[in-house]
Structure 1
Amino acid sequence: MLRLHTPYGEACSIEGPSWPAGEAWRPGPSESLLRQLQLVYGIGPHTEERLRREGFSDLVALSRHPRFGAEARKVLQALEQGDLAALRQAGARDYELLSYFDSADLAVIDIETAGFRGWPVFLIGLGWQEDGSWRVRQYFARGFEEEKALLYLALDFLQRFSGLVSYNGRAFDEPFVAERLTYHRLERPHFLIHVDLYHEIRRLFREELPDFRLSTVAGHLLSCRRTADIPGERVPELYLRYMAEGEEESIMPVLRHNEADMVDLCRLFDLLTTGAGRSVA
């Protein structure tokens, strides 16, 4: 556990594991987006089905349609230019826009908090790809007074990335951190993309999984079952005990829990983006 100094005091950094990353991809329009006729204004599921029966299998073919051709050409132009705002407005999900980013542009994030909204963040796990490998790092606050320094360190590190990857982070991690940044009067970062794997897992494996806890998903899809993990609901209790007792051993289960979440998240990202991020949509 390395103590780091910031303009707002100290916080700690913990280097985690490193392992080979999955296959990289070349940024550009994905095949799945080119096949999505519903990105064209005025086309819903039934119209799309009819158009496919008529031989309009992708947007290139649709661009020659007498009624929808002009709108299809607008979408094709947005795809060619990488106009993320226009593509989102047309209905593309952030996961489908991954192909416009290099894997090294993305940071995986998972946080641990001392309670519900209004309580401090005390641990931020970050994962990223570097030289063909995944790396994991944790920023840790030993007490509430170190939260601002913790946030500063994480934000400083995240400046190099264009996008985030999380698991239920749109509903939890992102708004929680935003609230704490506002509390500490720190500037909120802007990311071009936030891929929440929770929603993609639900969409793709709804009928196959008993629940959508990250540990359950990893056990089924990655054959990775945790043996000595703590339930997430115990995290605040263990952190408060650590602050009261000051014994590093009492916080180790929480650090290991977050590290396991980070490793599972990175591996799930690799699983879902196998084949240059184009095989799953």
Structure 2
Amino acid sequence: MTQAARQETDAAAAPEFPIPAGVHAEKVISVRHYTDFLFSFRITRPQSFRFRSGEFVMIGLPNAAKPVFRAYSIASPSWDEELEFFSIKVPDGPLTQHLQKIKPGDTVLMRQKSTGTLVLDALTPGKRLWMISTGTGIAPFASLMRDPETYEKFDEVILTHTCREVAELTYGEELARNLVEDPLIGELVQGRFFHYATATREPYARTGRITALIESGKLFEDLGMPPFDPAIDRVMICGSMDMIRDVKALVEKAGLKEGSNAAPAEFVVERAFVD
């Protein structure tokens, strides 16, 4: 039997699992691998699907009778006709060991309801929005930084992104670079959006953990901005649990209070992660 014939036989023999109720089956449009540990992908968007920029949704693959679903922040803004995601690769992860192998034309499952606390509605009015992220925690901010509403509500928007290696910063660097050329919000962001990227394990223009840079005051010194002020600043935090815990303590020390969809306040965190 030829290899082509064998592949056809294997494909024909592969089980076709039914799509669970309450789930959209969407097609992969594109996939991009940034490093051995990070990749992004875009899928079709159901016409009926609505979400607020910054929310997450449960996604999975049609590879089992009971597919594994994990929470993924939607990296595309709410107006986008496609849905974008930014993911880690985990060799033995229940979902990501398979998800990292997807290619255009494949099917991705997505539950119908989005949710999350990293939304503008969970914050009280302010003048300056800080979006503090590590690793793939940048995903919800990739959505918010491209949403016109963010710039309607805040005079200045600062995205911080910290990763171990320089290559892991590429996704955020490209987003920031393309922002001023965006036909929808390009004019809105000029002079109002600030991108502050740092690496912790390799030489880079800026190095160090974001917690240390906040605590020492170097973050504010580099940007020419005053430290956190509950009367002006609003903060969103997403990334590793250690970073969330430490930055949460720092903003609380500065006098900011944690908010939610039910009770908006000065800062919010997200605790939904992939495997």
Higher relative contact order (CA 8 A, sep 6+): 1
User: Same fold by TM-score, threshold 0.5 exceeded?
Assistant: no
Larger-Rg structure: 1
* Higher fraction of strand: 2
